[in-house]
Chains A and B, each alone.
Chain A
Amino acid sequence: MRRGNVWLWTAALAVYAFLYLPLAVVVIFSFNDSLLNAAWVGFTTRWYTTLFEDADMLRAGGNSLFIAFSAAGVATVLGTMAGIALQRWQSGVLRCLPFLVLTPVAMPEILLGVSLLLFFRQVLDLTLGLVSILIAHITFSIGFVAIVVRVRLAGLDASLFEAARDLGAGPWQTFRRVTLPLILPGVLAGFLMSFTLSIDDFVITVFVAGVGVTTLPLQIYSMIKVAVSPEVNAVSTLLMALTLTLIAAASKLAPDALKAKP
């Protein structure tokens, strides 16, 4: 091996260690048979058992799953429509539309959280809870779906859609028989991305959750205010596994979309 290669490998390993060691620590200690995150005592799965007996945790988990499914579902429908519109109308005044749809993606979360809170309380006079969290999560997910769908569409031959019209399909039939089947991988990837964004969102949720409703990230945060218990390690490990699986699935479905920037 040449000298340059050694350096390259060392650097690469260092980067990966930097990224994944903290995560590995959490996973390892979730199986540690000790209340303290200090030293390895022995292997156990009892923290996972505790987890599934913890009513607060289960309720928070239930809320998170419900919100993630619903928000991802709605964001996927709206985001797909936005993505198609972005790809179709690229001239005139409409050229600034992509920017407007995609802004929430780049906006600092804390800003989005504050503005949504003000909007819900001052403008809509909405009682904070499940609905406000749902709307907030849909808001920041639409842009991601729109990007993925648009990139997928951009990679398709535009004459496919003209061919469908030419051969007798109206706009709706063209969408159902040609457009949707062809962008489906992108749509599914968008759904999975929205799901993962929603299920582990903390900052925005803190602002719009109100007092009654807790999601998994909020629950974890409230628990570590006391101490990092092995139960938190266990729930974090599960969350991590879910997120990584969904992201892997999404990148398999739409490899170009996740790499490309709008």
Chain B
Amino acid sequence: MALLEIRRISRQFGDTKAVDDVSLSIEAGEFFTLVGPSGCGKTTLLRLIAGFEEPDAGELLLDGRPLTGIPPEKRPVHTVFQSYALFPHMSVAQNIAFPLQMAGTASDEVRRRVDEALELVHLAEKTRHFPHELSGGQRQRVALARALVNKPRLLLLDEPMAALDAKLRQQITGELIALQRAVGITFVFVTHSQEEALAVSHRIAVMNAGRIEQVGVPDQIYGYPQNRFVADFIGTVNLLPVEVRAADQGGLRMFAAGLGEIAGAPATATAVGQRGVLALRPEQVRVLAGSERQEMDNHFRGTVHDYLYLGDVTVYKIALDNGSVIESLLANSLPGRARFLERGDAVEVGWQREAGVYLRD
């Protein structure tokens, strides 16, 4: 049985359906991520789980028991807020002791558990400090310790990285994974950043306009997006408009106007004559050198239109003969060599039939 079962819940604010008929099940011990653009309903979904909102329809089951009508303080669910919401008039230790005291834990037990929690987030020396004396990263760790100290069944994290700078974010992402593994508590993490989602999660649910677009493990979400929204929101993608010419066990034959035939992997529920797009990740599009051409299932001529140097990689924008521009990612593996191609170079690009994902309109 799933730890948290979300059954067809909806929540509406005025005319906007913030959460629209969402069903999900989250397993015990999972690091589950809700990702989507701002306003997609992921925070509302989190607030429904925490108990700050009640659903208009549908129900939530935790350990098989319905959560309907149970106020937030009675739910074994704790939250790390985006602003961390540390109590400014309490020291670090007092903040962490708060949930234990509310649960009526004996005072020597409180002390022991607070020390344990501080140890867990490496803040043992900050016990007596107040929140305003801590850095952003330290505050976040106090918020984590406070939310974890009473061993909730479920920990909700509402964009906990939003207030941190990029470098720190990367470091803390790593710490978060280790922490979840150490405590074994189920995490439900909300973020708008697809990189964070891919890095930390066991499973990801991509949300858009109150609905769930796709649920899956990170490489499934990235490698096999089910629709244009997911393909576009997770990572960067080239979308080539195509028409299906043939579909069988051997694969898909597509036609792109001005380019010709494209071979693709077999796809389900595809009919001849259907229109759609071929979604190709930039790192799957190769710039071909001489002999590589024979090995590629698809290859087309083009011109280097522009490039974007990013340090570790360079993104080349290549204009194909039919005018569409596709991106190709090349690792800058040779030191001192910022790019291999110049604007205006005539090149040939190619990809294997397994590379692309066909998405119907």
Q: Write the residues of chain A forming the contact surface with B, with a CB cutoff of 8 angstroms.
A: 157, 159-160, 162-170, 173, 177-178, 181-182
Contact = CB atoms under 8 A, between A and B. Distances in A.
A160 B73 contact: no
Nearest to B47: A162
Contacts, number: 58
B146 A165 contact: no
Given A159-B85, A164-B98, A177-B98, 19 more contacts: A157-B85, A159-B81, A160-B85, A162-B79, A162-B85, A165-B51, A166-B51, A166-B72, A166-B73, A166-B79, A167-B99, A167-B102, A167-B147, A167-B150, A168-B99, A168-B150, A169-B98, A170-B71, A170-B73
B16 to A, nearest CB: 15
Contacts of B88: 160, 182
Contacts of A170: 71, 73
A181 B88 CA distance: 10
B87 A159 contact: no
A178 to B, nearest CB: 6
Contacts of A169: 73, 98, 102
B136 to A, nearest CB: 15
Of B77, B82, B89, chain A has the most CB atoms within 10 Å of the CB of B89
A167 B89 contact: no
Given A162-B72, A177-B98, A168 B103 contact: yes
Contacts of B51: 165-166
B309 to A, nearest CB: 41
22 contacts: A157-B85, A159-B81, A159-B82, A159-B83, A160-B87, A160-B88, A162-B72, A163-B85, A164-B87, A165-B73, A166-B51, A167-B98, A167-B99, A167-B146, A167-B147, A167-B150, A168-B103, A169-B98, A169-B102, A170-B73, A177-B98, A181-B89
B50 interface: yes
A222 to B, nearest CB: 48
B52 interface: yes
A41 B285 CA distance: 102
B81 A162 contact: yes
Contacts of A164: 87, 98
A165 B52 CA distance: 9
Interface string B65-102: 00000011100011101110101110000000011001
Contact of B71 (A157, A160, A163, A165): A165
A157 B72 contact: no
Given A165-B71, A165-B73, A173 B102 contact: yes
B89 A168 contact: no
B89 A182 contact: yes
Given A159-B81, A162-B81, A163-B81, A168 B87 contact: no
A167 B96 CA distance: 10
Contacts of B50: 166
Contacts of B52: 162, 165-166
A153 to B, nearest CB: 14
A167 B80 CA distance: 10
Contacts of A159: 81-83, 85
Nearest to B102: A168
Contacts of B103: 168
* Central interface residue in A164, A168, A169, A181, by most chain B CB within 10 Å: A168
Contacts of B99: 167-168
Contacts of A160: 85, 87-88
A167 B150 CA distance: 9
7 tightest A-B CB contacts, nearest first: A168-B102, A163-B85, A167-B99, A159-B85, A165-B72, A159-B81, A181-B89
A177 B87 CA distance: 10
